[in-house]
Structure 1
Amino acid sequence: MGSFPSFVSRYVSIAVKILMAHSLIIANIVVVVVVVVVVVVVVVVVVVVLVVIVVVVVEVEVVVLIVVVVVV
């Protein structure tokens, strides 16, 4: 019975080490996911802004062309 607590403490320490390792892995995964999400959001925002600019410029050019054609 004297060796039983040492087994328990050994298993507890192993479990704690595994949990700590997993928490580090989970923290790394969370950081990677957050970075990926931020990058994706930034890329999407940039693409949307560029598309809006292009659409606005094209529409303005089309309107100007129509006005020029109508006036001429």
Structure 2
Amino acid sequence: MFDLGSLAVAVASVLGVGLLLGAGIPLIYAIAVRAKESRRPGSDALAASLMVLCVLLALAGIVIIVFGDQLLG
């Protein structure tokens, strides 16, 4: 009839991806900006790597939106 276990897994996966691609990217960007503004050693490298991560996550979201049916079945 109705499988609550698979429904819970589906809801959790949608929630996780939504948080990562929805609220996660601005959070990572904010941390990168804070790291860039601080003058601590290594903060420029941290900021650059977090900015690259933001770009990669945004591109992954676009790819999933455009090619989601072919990639995920």
Q: What's the TM-score bracket when you normalise by the shorter of the two chains?
A: 0.3 to 0.5
CA radius of gyration, larger in: 1
Greater share of residues in helix: 1
Larger RCO (alpha carbons 8 Å, 6+ apart): 2
Q: TM-score, normalised by structure 1?
A: 0.35
Q: TM-score, normalised by structure 2?
A: 0.35
